[in-house]
């Protein structure tokens, strides 16, 4: 079955790209702060976390990798790293990392799905692209920081990304205009992740009694 035609999304993608990169880069720099690393590591963590998910998405759907050939995306990552360093993030409550990550998850789950749809990827694979875009950078960040991967914890994370991406795709395909669909999708992903952070809501494990 041919993919439904989706109108160009350049303005929406640009806004979500910047927002997602910024908040994920901050979460990467906060992870470096938590383990007392150097400014170079701050910058590296910020960049890897900020662009990791989008890089994987673009490689899988055959699109030009979004940050190659431009300086502003990596510039955002460097500014985020410098800001966290200068503001002495080790004095922050470290749950700030979780909330910045949740903001990035909401924005990037929609971004990944929107970009995939705009390039003619069918609906379900587009949702998967949203999940990968939202989660892969955080997975790499946790591995680099020596933290247990989010994939190996029961807390709701990937499920929140799937909700955000899936909400956007469904709303778009039933005819809702792009900006409202994007806002609702991002809010749904962020909202579910926020509830999980605030309440400890988690998925059941295999054969839990």
What is residue 13's predicted lDDT score, i.e. its pLDDT?
A: 67
Contacts (Cβ under 8 Å, ≥6 apart) of 19: 103, 104, 107
Asked if 73 and 63 touch (Cβ cutoff 8 Å), the reply is no
Q: Does 132 score more than 90 pLDDT? A: yes
pLDDT over 90 at 21, yes or no: no
Of 30, 70, 69, 67, give the one whose Cα is nearest residue 46. Answer: 30
pLDDT confidence of residue 2: 46
Largest CA distance in the chain: 54
pLDDT at 165: 96
Calpha distance 199→52 (Å, rounded): 28
Which residue bears the tokens 């990827």? 121
**Alpha-carbon dihedral angle through residues 104, 110, 112, 117, given to the nearest 10 degrees:** -170
Reply yes or no on whether the pLDDT at 27 is more than 80.
Answer: yes
Tokens 């949740």, located at residue: 102
How does pLDDT run across 77-108, given as a tens digit for each residue? 999 999 989 887 656 555 776 787 788 888 88
Q: Is the pLDDT of residue 124 over 80?
A: yes
Pairwise CA distance, residues 161 & 149, whole Å: 16
Whether residue 173 has pLDDT greater than 50: yes
Torsion of CA 45, 48, 50, 56, to 10 degrees: -160
Measured CA to CA, the distance from residue 117 to residue 189 in angstroms comes to: 18
- Calculate Rg over the CA atoms of the chain: 17
Please tell me the distance from the alpha carbon of residue 130 to that of residue 206, in angstroms, as a whole number. Answer: 26
How far, in Å, CA of 33 to CA of 82, rounded? Answer: 11
pLDDT-derived band of residue 109, with 50, 70 and 90 as boundaries?
very high
pLDDT at 61: 93
pLDDT at 1 over 70: no
Residue 113 confidence (pLDDT) above 50: yes
Token match 């998850």: residue?
A: 105
The larger pLDDT score, comparing residue 163 to residue 8, is at: 163
């Amino acid at each position: 079955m041919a993919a439904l035609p989706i109108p160009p999304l350049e303005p929406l993608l640009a806004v979500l790209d910047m927002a997602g990169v910024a908040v994920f880069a901050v979460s990467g720099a906060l992870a470096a702060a938590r383990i007392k690393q150097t400014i170079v590591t701050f910058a590296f963590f910020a960049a890897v976390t900020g662009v990791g998910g989008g890089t994987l998405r673009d490689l899988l759907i055959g699109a030009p990798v979004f940050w190659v050939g431009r300086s502003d995306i990596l510039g955002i990552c460097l500014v985020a790293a410098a800001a966290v360093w200068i503001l002495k993030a080790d004095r922050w409550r470290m749950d700030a990392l979780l909330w910045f990550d949740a903001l990035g998850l909401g924005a990037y789950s929609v971004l990944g799905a929107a970009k995939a749809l705009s390039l003619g990827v069918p609906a379900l694979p587009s949702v998967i692209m949203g999940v990968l875009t939202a989660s892969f950078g955080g997975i790499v960040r946790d591995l680099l920081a020596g933290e247990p991967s989010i994939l190996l914890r029961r807390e709701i994370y990937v499920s929140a990304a799937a909700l955000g991406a899936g909400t956007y795709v469904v709303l778009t395909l039933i005819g809702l205009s792009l900006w409202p669909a994007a806002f609702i999708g991002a809010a749904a992903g962020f909202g579910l992740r926020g509830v999980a952070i605030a309440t400890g809501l988690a998925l059941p494990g295999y054969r839990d009694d």
